[in-house]
Structure 1
């Protein structure tokens, strides 16, 4: 009996719902349905009797498309705030939201509940979005896996946070590729994630070079022979060079 109750509590903690606050009326509601065609929403009051009508989500659910369409549908989307709230603490979180809107102090626990659940206008947890540029599910896992990299490797080499922040990884990782059914080692590389023109996150692979590539057109006329010798001898130029972005 105790084990079953514990399992139910754990499941409840994993279940999230998306709550909405209308800042014009200070009324809250819970989303019950997202229409597939236009991504419009239907809501119900956040009462326990409507529990079965709540749309159940998790923290990794990609919501960017919904928020883009939502902003296009409403003339003033800033009148609304959204929260991805664990179902188990829905009442406490929404009460704290209303208290803050009224200028009241919900206490440290209430502030933490709101901070951990408030979404930004891209559908990402606002607190994490301020820290990270991307969410974990946005990373180009297909491209990473094709180079022999997985989540565990990135975590173990302290590279996951750097990728999520949009930085170049400080550690060069061994990469490989399967060619005609055979695994081929491709040396080492650092990585960086950037958002492309289509909004998708792309992987930039920065391979480690065994020797300078001065013969490439992009480097033509950039370094003098003296500077090349200095780079070969010391590994540093001791100054800054301006290059044209081709």
Structure 2
């Protein structure tokens, strides 16, 4: 079985709670969705259908205190509402029990509501305490974003892995680690066990162990995803395996079993594309956007994505403003809706892409950009004449270029290939110049001349060059070939 632990989740969302609210006048329990631009409370019915809209709160942060400060500054009559902070997995069932209490009160359900009720004044006091602490310890004002603090990390262990605090900061990896995320790139890790030393590339994350200590998790690279053994009680079908290998997503919701508690957890499964590790995500943490590339999703489309299935969308708009169609799917590792690609055909796609690109002629040849007329003819396979080309020694020359669509290469010649049957050779005016200046060959008559040869030049053309040729330096001998 995979060593991934469902009790040690890897994202802040997995330590989240849902905020429920009681409207005392309407006597109705709702889930808080957010705050509108006017500062008013937005709510939805606490149902499974709406769970992707629930506002989630990090139970280890002080987001609630910030929320209440903003909310109560806008609300005209805050006494009309009571708030409850409920663990995300229990939110829907707890809301139902609270609603029953409003219709048929019992002492048991009253205790339930007291257990989760939030005191707004206490939350605001908590915020002030945090602000005072931050001023004392000089921490950043965005402490609420972080699940862990640097001082919680065992830096001696990190140093043994070759990862100092300074190195992580320089690589811009410390911040996401403290926020509870895996590094979004592979990190070189060196592990010295005294009698053995190993080096590997891996993704890293921080997790809390059973004693509450913060430890570093090393997610090493696997050759292939391990699909032949049960994953938290789930046996992969042939279709599951094909989907995971092709797209990286299994494509359906399955019930996984927590090995310690026996809890059944509806989840989706994806493959970490950097390490080939299997990653599970509870369905309650799936959040579907309202729009994807300017296309507004309807409820049916949202439900398809909530169930982990792929969805084909037409009429999306690219960054360049072009319409396009594509399939999308929610990825458990990335925690967002991604565009699909076939992992099993990655190399084939790359080759196809290269071939497609090779069929397009380059717009620039040896540093000279072709104008629209030249490029159109060149891309159509016609031969075009270019002057003002410059060789490696800075001297100008001219020639003809033709684009070969089959090979994707540009053929160059000094003579028009349309007028000669055999492969064109450089004209006498350019032959010696090109051989010496660009090909590194030696012309006996000018082998000691320091200056680049000009078009048509075969012999020294100035008194200075004549002197250089007659009094050569004996220290070095040309290794070029004679022309």
TM-score, normalising length from structure 1? 0.44
Larger radius of gyration: 2
Q: Using CA pairs under 8 Å that are at least 6 residues apart, name the structure with larger relative contact order, 1 or 2.
A: 1
In terms of fraction of residues, the more helix-rich structure is: 1
Give the TM-score normalised by the residue count of structure 2: 0.24
